[in-house]
Amino acid sequence: MATKASRSAARIMMAPAVVLLLGWMLVPLIMTLWFSFTKYLPLRGDSIERGLDWVGIANYARFISSSSFWPAVQTTLIMVGGVLLITVVLGILLAMLLDQPMWGQGVVRILVIAPFFVMPTVSALVWKNMLMDPVNGIFAHLWRFFGAEPVAWLQDASLSSIIMIVSWQWLPFATLILLTAIQSLDSEQLEAAEMDGAPVIKRFWYIVLPHLARAITIVILIQTIFLLSIFAEIFVTTGGAFGTRTLTYLIFQRVIDSQNIGLGSAGGVYAIILANVVAIFLMRIVGKNLDA
Amino acid sequence: MGQIQLKQVTKSFGSTEVIPPLDLTIEDGEFTVFVGPSGCGKSTLLRLIAGLEDITTGHIEIDGQDATSVVPAKRGLAMVFQSYALYPHMSVRKNIAFPLRMAKLDQAAIDQKVEAAAAVLNLTDYLDRRPGQLSGGQRQRVAIGRAIVREPSAFLFDEPLSNLDAALRVGMRLEISELHERLKTTMVYVTHDQVEAMTMADKIVVLQAGVIEQVGTPLELYRTPRNIFVAGFIGSPKMNFLTGEEAAKHGAHTVGIRPEHIDVVESGGAWQGTVGVAEHLGSDTFFHIHNTGLAETLTVRAIGDVSLRHGDTIHLSPRVEEFHRFDAAGLRIA
């Protein structure tokens, strides 16, 4: 197989796929970078055919000096952090629960995974209209049943509500990965710890949790990538109002609502930087955890 | 101290009874080996003693105290598992220190005990490594180290050598025996390997289907097996069993004779047959003999290298005084 001829043949045959993938990534990236340095307002008659005016870093300066920039970054980080915290903690608990032998295990496991199959738009709408509606929602009925004043979830606790919705969607993913990790734990290790005098909590802390470290890392990294770009859940619930405007949503508003493609592109580049900073930060923390 | 007493202990999983009522006393300081074919309940019995499984009925007493419902950690026993069950994310030092940390000893005392255990087991150079960086034998020693530091009243070993290669197994066998000589602590050791049982034990407990077939010193079991099962299980190669005419001559339903108690003679001899496979080990030669008219194959051990080959006719002379006689129920006839 590893003759010179077969190796070059392999290279030639892989080339189209590599070129396609590179193009897929590089073209949008380069276009975004280009737009971010130009004045591009389609409603004012700017277009690529007529040529765009080079404005240097004006878009970057404007995007970052906007009063909505830092709150948007903050909202993004709170939302990602909140969802990660909820999904990892509940995921570990659910995984341990599902690992116990019980009747109807197969069905229960499928039910737990189910939310992951629901489209984000649909699940956000279901939460908004069926659960969180302050007049007809199930929560409102529940609150009234106990004699309490119904909460206008998406207005008064908007950020927490969206965190709740997104956590519900991502909990199955975390649970699934953590469950497979827990199942690979050697039961003799737990028994050895039991013989060594470790009560349940300490067995969890010293044996189960370190065993899960790697899986938790994977859950956190993958979820972070997807959570930084949450959009549908915000769009169909609050539309970015009540302090739920994330960086992604801000960029959307700049490009679509304000029809300022240059400014939005600059925001996109900031989002890339933010994602990388978060990723490096996470790698560092999690990497240390793996060594301990 | 470390006397363990089982009184009418039974164990059932659901409706299947794994261990019917069983009585056994393990004396203080004794090296007891549970041996039997796989699935005979020997590991279950060890786990019952450890407290990792609840017994269904009966009592377990440790040093005269009822320990039936005492949690594993409070029984004062330490266990070495088949997979070693080391904590992979902790260094060797932390692994050995774990039971001491759980017992909330102060750091100075922990360090001192860990160093002492490491010195005994030749692990001093490896204290800061992770289990993943150690060889099988070293991991085994770490597992033993973790058991030693607790200064238990008895050690429980669950087939600890079955994951090691043959050469290492012989070495670890000696190390565990030496450790027992030095610590004089009660040890209960589970194995399916009768060689391990014979070489290490003060007392062997032969189990089959959860039932104790015989309890005794290695040589007692070798010389006076109580029934056909024990006779066949103890000794290597396996004892030859003959039925029919030959057994009737000795007034028994079945007679057994060990391969080492049949002599190869030049001519004459009571039996003869053709050599099937001859295994030449240098020190011994094992012959598998066919066409004797006694049994399908007869195994014979000759000392030294006997130059008989496949297909040769062999003359055999069994030592009459070494016949074991069994009745129709398989029990020994005295």
Residue pLDDT, tens place only, B39-76: 888 888 999 999 888 888 888 998 888 888 888 888 88
Nearest to B99 among A186, A196, A211 (CB): A196
What pLDDT does residue A14 have?
A: 92
Nearest to A203 by CA among B107, B129, B91, B98: B98
Query: Mind listing the pLDDT tens digit for each residue in B154-166?
Result: 999 998 888 888 8
**Can you read off the two tokens belonging to residue A250?**
């801000």
* Residue A58 to residue A75: CA distance in whole angstroms: 25
Neighbours of B52 (CB within 10 A): 20
Q: Do A197 and B99 touch (CB under 8 A)?
A: yes
**Nearest residue of chain A to residue B81 (CA atoms):** A188
What pLDDT does residue B205 have?
A: 93
Nearest to A196 among B82, B89, B102 (CB): B102
| Contact assessment for residue B270 and residue B316, using Cβ atoms and an 8 Å cutoff | yes
Mean pLDDT of B209-215: 90
Mean pLDDT of A15-40: 90
What pLDDT does residue A88 have?
A: 94
Q: What percent of chain B has pLDDT over 90?
A: 29
For the ranges A144-148, B78-82, B292-296, the lowest mean pLDDT is seen at B292-296
Set of chain B residues whose Cβ sits within 8 Å of the Cβ of A288: none
Domain B237-326 - what CATH class? Answer: mainly beta
Assess B113–A contact: CB distance below 8 Å, yes or no: no
Mutation test of the interface with chain B: which of A187, A196, A200, choosing the one with the most B Cβ atoms within 10 A? A196
**Can you read off the two tokens belonging to residue B215?**
């309890």
Mean pLDDT of B169-190: 90
What band does A292 get if pLDDT is binned at 50, 70 and 90?
Answer: very low
CA–CA distances in Å: residue B78 to residues A126, B145, B157, B333? 56, 10, 9, 41
Average pLDDT, chain A: 86
Region of residue B297 (left: phi > 0; alpha: psi -120 to 50; beta: else): beta
Nearest to A197 among B79, B86, B102 (CB): B102
Mean pLDDT of A234-245: 84
Whether A4 shows a pLDDT value over 90: the answer reads no
**Nearest residue of chain B to residue A193 (CA atoms):** B99
CATH superfamily of B4-231: P-loop containing nucleotide triphosphate hydrolases (3.40.50.300)
* Residue B117 to residue B315: CA distance in whole angstroms: 56
Assess A92–B contact: CB distance below 8 Å, yes or no: no
Whether B32 shows a pLDDT value over 90: the answer reads yes
Whether A279 shows a pLDDT value over 70: the answer reads yes
CA angle B243, B245, B246 (to 5 degrees): 70
Of B27-31, B293-297, B330-334, which has the strongest mean pLDDT? Answer: B27-31
Q: Do A211 and B98 touch (CB under 8 A)?
A: no
What pLDDT does residue A221 have?
A: 85
Nearest to A195 among B78, B88, B103 (CB): B78
Region of residue A56 (left: phi > 0; alpha: psi -120 to 50; beta: else): left
What pLDDT does residue A90 have?
A: 94
| Contact assessment for residue A178 and residue A216, using Cβ atoms and an 8 Å cutoff | yes
ipTM of the complex: 0.81
Set of chain A residues whose Cβ sits within 8 Å of the Cβ of B86: 189, 192
Q: Do A196 and B85 touch (CB under 8 A)?
A: no
Query: Mind listing the pLDDT tens digit for each residue in B123-153?
Result: 888 889 999 888 888 898 899 999 989 888 9
CATH superfamily of A67-259: MetI-like (1.10.3720.10)
Q: How many angstroms away from the CA of A225 is the closest CA of chain B?
A: 28
What band does A288 get if pLDDT is binned at 50, 70 and 90?
Answer: low
Query: Which residues lie closer than 8 Å to A61 by C-beta, 6 or more apart?
Result: none
Whether A282 shows a pLDDT value over 80: the answer reads no
Q: How many angstroms away from the CA of A104 is the closest CA of chain B?
A: 19
Size of interface A-B (CB pairs under 8 A): 57
Q: Do A195 and B50 touch (CB under 8 A)?
A: yes
Q: What percent of chain A has pLDDT over 70?
A: 97
What pLDDT does residue A103 have?
A: 83
Q: How many angstroms away from the CA of B293 is the closest CA of chain A?
A: 51
Q: Cα A153 from chain centroid?
A: 21
Query: Mind listing the pLDDT tens digit for each residue in B61-118?
Result: 988 888 888 888 888 899 999 888 899 889 999 999 999 988 888 899 999 999 988 8
| Contact assessment for residue B282 and residue B305, using Cβ atoms and an 8 Å cutoff | yes
Whether A49 shows a pLDDT value over 90: the answer reads no
* Residue B21 to residue B15: CA distance in whole angstroms: 15
What pLDDT does residue B14 have?
A: 84
What band does B216 get if pLDDT is binned at 50, 70 and 90?
Answer: very high
Q: List chain A domain ranges.
A: 67-259
Q: How many CA atoms does the CB half-sphere of B245 hold within 13 Å? A: 4
| Contact assessment for residue B142 and residue B149, using Cβ atoms and an 8 Å cutoff | no
CA–CA distances in Å: residue B230 to residues A53, B26, B126? 97, 20, 43
Q: Do B83 and A198 touch (CB under 8 A)?
A: no
What pLDDT does residue A1 have?
A: 56
**Nearest residue of chain A to residue B47 (CA atoms):** A191
Q: Which residue has the tokens 């006839």?
A: B333
Assess A33–B contact: CB distance below 8 Å, yes or no: no
Nearest to B83 among A188, A202, A210 (CB): A188
| Contact assessment for residue B272 and residue B316, using Cβ atoms and an 8 Å cutoff | yes
For the ranges A22-31, A282-291, B231-240, B277-286, the lowest mean pLDDT is seen at A282-291
* Helix ranges (DSSP H) in A100-246: 105-113, 120-126, 138-145, 153-156, 158-183, 187-195, 200-203, 209-227, 232-237
Q: What's the pTM value of the predicted model, to 2 decimals? A: 0.78
Nearest to A191 among B85, B146, B150 (CB): B85
Which comes out higher in pLDDT, residue A2 or B26? Answer: B26
Burial B114-127 (b: 16+ CB within 10 A, else e): beebbebbebeebb
Element (H, E) at A97: helix A69-99
Assess B82–A contact: CB distance below 8 Å, yes or no: yes
* Residue B150 to residue B110: CA distance in whole angstroms: 10
**DSSP per residue over B177-217, as a string?**
HHHHHHH--EEEEEES-HHHHHHH-SEEEEEETTEEEEEE-
Q: List chain B domain ranges.
A: 4-231, 237-326
